[in-house]
Amino acid sequence: MTLRSDHEWTPPGVDVEQPSIARVHDALLGGTENFASDRAVARRLKDAVPEVVDLVWCNRAFIGRVVDYLVRQAGVRQFVDLGAGLPTVENTHEVAQFADPSARIVYVDLDPMVEPHARAILARNDLATAITADARDVPAVLGHPELRRLIDFSRPVALLAIGLLHLIPDQEDPHGLIRRYMAALPSGSHLAASNFMAGPNPKAQALETMLQVTMGTGHFRTRESITRFFDGLDLVEPGVVHFPQWHPDDRLPGPLAPWEEILLGGVARRP
């Protein structure tokens, strides 16, 4: 059997020589929807921080716990997942609709590969879809016809910005971006957000350097700066914490490993 080259199965608008955050993430998870350029970046990230694959899975677990909480305890049934990336395992729609089959989910990503792959998975799911849009363009995202078809803005919405904000530099005002999104959502809506945390942690410093070298992005922020994403909202306990500390499935066994201290996130409700 002859394997297809990258160019033979490339969707329109995709440059196989240019690595993509979504596809690098897929490569780190062991997926197949990536190209040689993405796998090369994944290898360099693993060389710099061998635990980066554990970090990616930790991120997936955090999303799962957040979505389950939002459905079962906060009563949210609508999700807008910004920078969702390529479908993997325990996707937002799977977790949300397992908790409540009526949950509605819209995935948003700039990578043109995400929408067709997500739509193929969601072909028989009338309550979930994917759109190609730049998360930095609030009107384009919230005004997209497919999003408007599924999301009822008279009812609470959960905005997921997990694994996105570290891609947006300070000069593009990521805090203002989140404020604009939340201002457009009704009372009772929730924000789930995260960012890589800056500091003396050598694992964080190595990962930040390699992301900048390979992808030209990767903006790590202080705990104070990350906490500011939730200004004006009511933080859900335990607040802004490292991922393993947010509603853990099991009791924490002890101090966090250095790689577990890289990501910081939380969930908050709009009054």
pLDDT single digits (tens) 129-147 = 999 999 999 999 999 999 9
Task: Residue 103: give the domain boundaries.
Answer: 52-269
Q: In the prediction, which pLDDT does 16 show?
A: 79
**Distance (Å, whole) CA 154 – CA 253:** 42
Task: Confirm whether 22 is domain-assigned.
Answer: no
Half-sphere exposure of 87 (CA within 13 A, CB side): 17
**Is residue 163 one of the residues assigned to a domain?**
yes
- Predicted local confidence at residue 3, as pLDDT: 39
* Residue 42 lies inside a defined structural domain of this protein: no
Confidence of residue 15 (pLDDT cuts 50, 70, 90): confident
Domain count across the chain: 1
State the DSSP string of 1-54.
-PPPPGGGGPPTT--TTS--HHHHHHHHTT-SS--HHHHHHHHHHHHH-TTHHH
Q: Which of 103-117, 189-203, 216-230 has the lowest mean pLDDT?
A: 103-117
**Angle at 112 (CA atoms; ends 127, 46), nearest 5 degrees:** 105
In this predicted structure, which of 61-75, 166-180, 187-201, 237-251 has the lowest mean pLDDT?
Answer: 237-251
Residue type, 191: L
Residue 20 within a domain: no
Domain with residue 186: its CATH number is 3.40.50.150
Within a domain: residue 25?
Answer: no
Strand 190-196 to strand 234-235: parallel, antiparallel, or no bridges (unpaired)? Answer: unpaired
Average pLDDT over residues 259-266: 95
Element (H, E) at 129: strand 128-132
Any domain includes 39: no
Give pLDDT, residue 253.
61
pTM above 0.75, yes or no: yes
Per-residue pLDDT, 250: 75
Task: Give CA angle at 208 (248, 246), nearest 5°.
Answer: 10
Note whether residue 168 is domain-resident.
Answer: yes
- Is residue 120 assigned to a domain? yes
